[in-house]
Amino acid sequence: MKTEKLTCMSLCGFLTVSSIQANEPAERDYKQKQLPNIVLILADDLGYGDLNCYGATRYTTPNLDRLAHSGVRFTNFYVSQAVCSASRAALLTGCYSNRVGIGGALFPNSLIGLNPQEETIAEILKKRGYSSGIFWKWHLGYQREFLPLQQGFEEYFGLPYSNDMWKYNIDGSVATPKQNKNKANYPPLPLIEGNESVKEIVTMDDQAQLTTMYTDRAVSFIEKHKKNPFFLYLPHSMPHVPIAASDKFKGKSEQGVYGDVLMEIDWSVGQVLEALEKNGLTENTLVIFVSDNGPWLNFGNHAGSAGGLREGKGTSWEGGQRVPCIMKWPGRIPEGLVCNKIAATIDVLPTLANIVEAPLPTRKIDGVNILSLMTGDQKANPREVFLYYYNSNCLEAVRKNQWKLVFAHQSQTYEGFAPGKDGVGGKTGNVQVEPALYDLRRDPGERYDVKDLNPEIVAELTKIADEARADLGDGILNIKGANVREPGRVSVQ
Ligand code: MG
């Protein structure tokens, strides 16, 4: 067993001076160093404007609002790409998703997944004695080789991909090839325990039980691991369509099913916080709540709100990639803090590694340590630049501080199309986006092109983009990056 001698520093104010070995038994390590527990809650397709503390109306999110009040609320927080699998790959590896070869959303017949050679947050924390559990949506490969137990997690219970990847229409009927060729060919939607399928999700009543089912698992996980440091990852299936709430919340909001579902997710967060409190873990737990991408706007009353930002899921406009993010860590994160600096899900891994003094992955990552932002250092700005990739590997825009330079590209658009209703999606279009520079300080809606007024800014951001293209590539210009890696692949299903 490889051991590593570490000289202890005052880790986040909790630690005393001693020396430890990296792979010592977890419980002793925990007592000596008070390594914080990590709870990472990821909502699916929840938009920038979907929580009361980000402007939502007609339903309530009191637990998330309290979480924000007792910690930090980020206002310029980004996902790597505005689609499920790519976003999750980035969150768990600290890399832009194109660096690790994951783009778009993986489907039930995909033969690729997150390469097991990539190091996930769970694997990084494991080096410091953490136990990790994931309860719900994985979406980084359905093949056994790619499932969570093979990627650093000890416990897994949930769906392997999105809850709409089943053969049923919203009214419960089976989709015909004429209605939807993909849907008609989908295999049963499995609920997985460990590596095995244990149940098929068949009806909307089944879907309505999901949030409560995995919340119970999360609470049990906290109870079970209260004496050891743990990483609890809770990637919700909802409010990704099809949406349904349990009887506890059915009809409780003024915003129909979507509001009911948001209230149930908020309740779930409350249950987790209560379990931490009951077990005396509140003070020593970092809780993070974030979404995987913006709202799927063509689902109308079953979709969320981008809070006035442009477009939504499946685009590199702000409505697609900017999401709510809240973090709470008593004694370390000041209460009521608002952070307006740029930060991103790719920064979570290196920040956690820094907090627990674990080594970073051996392969190149893109995230930076944002602990200074979390603790309220007003002068800190660890992430000045963010790259907006989409369609696997297309560099569609780059941001530095308040400036966002958009490059010519093809984009999905919701604008000009009537949304759908009650679980049936409306049409979307495709448009050619022309180059533009936006000042997000005064124009977060990206409406006023100011490139002609700011040629020096355009030149600076173009240089940043060229460096990114050499490193990560750019499908728009047919540039293959020097440092992109392959996903995991299996040859047979
Ligand atoms: Mg999503």
* pLDDT above 50 (res 25): no
**What digits encode the pLDDT tens for the residues 64-84?**
999 999 999 999 999 999 999
14 has pLDDT over 80: no
Q: Residue 182 above 90 pLDDT?
A: no
8 assigned to active site: no
Does the pLDDT of residue 23 top 50, yes or no? no
pLDDT band at 392 (very low <50, low <70, confident <90, very high): confident
Residue 33: what pLDDT? 61
**Amino acid identity, residue 49?**
G
Taking the centre of ligand 1 as the mean of its atom positions, its distance from the CA of residue 227, in whole angstroms, is: 33
Catalytic residue among 12, 84, 339, 394: 84
What is the structure's pLDDT at 264? 98
Task: Pick the catalytic residue from 12, 95, 139, 240.
Answer: 139
For residue 183, what pLDDT is reported? Answer: 86
Ligand 1 centroid – CA 392 distance (Å): 15
CA of 262 to the centre of ligand 1 (A): 15
Cα gap 428→415, rounded to integer Å: 8
Q: How far is the CA of 4 from the centre of ligand 1 (A)?
A: 39
Residue 32 clears pLDDT 90, i.e. is over it = no
Q: What is the pLDDT of residue 17?
A: 32
Q: How many angstroms is it from 84 CA to the middle of ligand 1?
A: 4
pLDDT of residue 300: 97
Residue 393 near residue 484, CB atoms below 8 Å: yes
Model confidence over 476-485: pLDDT tens digits?
Answer: 999 999 999 9
d(C-alpha 61, C-alpha 262), whole Å: 7
211 pLDDT higher than 90 = yes
Phi-psi sector, 351: left (phi>0), alpha (psi -120 to 50), beta: alpha
**Which helix H or strand E contains 373, and what residues bound it?**
helix 371-374
Percent of the chain with pLDDT over 70: 93
pLDDT at 16 over 70: no
**What pLDDT sits at residue 34?**
84
Each residue's pLDDT tens digit, 129-166: 999 999 999 999 999 999 999 999 999 999 999 999 99
CATH code, residues 388-485: 3.30.1120.10
Is residue 22's pLDDT more than 80? Answer: no
d(CA 383, CA 341): 8
Q: How far apart are CA 18 and CA 156, in angstroms?
A: 35
pLDDT in tens, 348-374: 999 999 999 999 999 999 999 999 999
Residue 445 C-alpha to ligand 1 middle, in angstroms? Answer: 21
Q: Which of 84, 107, 104, 85 is nearest to 186 (CA)?
A: 107
Q: pLDDT tens for residues 328-340?
A: 999 999 999 999 9
Q: What is the reported pTM?
A: 0.93
Q: Tell me how far the alpha carbon of residue 45 lies from the centroid of ligand 1, in angstroms.
A: 4
Judged on CB neighbours under 10 Å (0-12, 13-18, 19+), 5 is exposed
Kindly report, residue by residue over 252-274, the tens digit of the pLDDT.
Answer: 999 999 999 999 999 999 999 99
Measured distance CA(462)–CA(455) in Å, rounded: 10
pLDDT, averaged across the chain: 93
Separation of CA 126 and ligand 1 centre (Å): 27
Catalytic site includes residue 69:
no
Q: What is the pLDDT of residue 2?
A: 35
CATH of domain 33-379: 3.40.720.10
264-267: Cβ within 8 A, 24+ apart: 264/211, 264/212, 264/238, 265/43, 265/46, 265/211, 265/236, 265/238, 265/239, 266/60, 266/61, 266/62, 266/63, 266/64, 267/63, 267/215
Question: According to CATH, where is 3.30.1120.10 located in the chain?
Answer: 388-485
Q: Looking at the predicted structure, is the pLDDT value of residue 193 above 60?
A: yes
Q: How far is the CA of 9 from the centre of ligand 1 (A)?
A: 39
Where along the chain do the CATH 3.40.720.10 domains lie?
33-379
CB 305 within 8 A of CB 47: yes
Please give the pLDDT value at position 428.
97
CA of 159 to the centre of ligand 1 (A): 14
- pLDDT bracket for residue 4 (50, 70, 90): very low
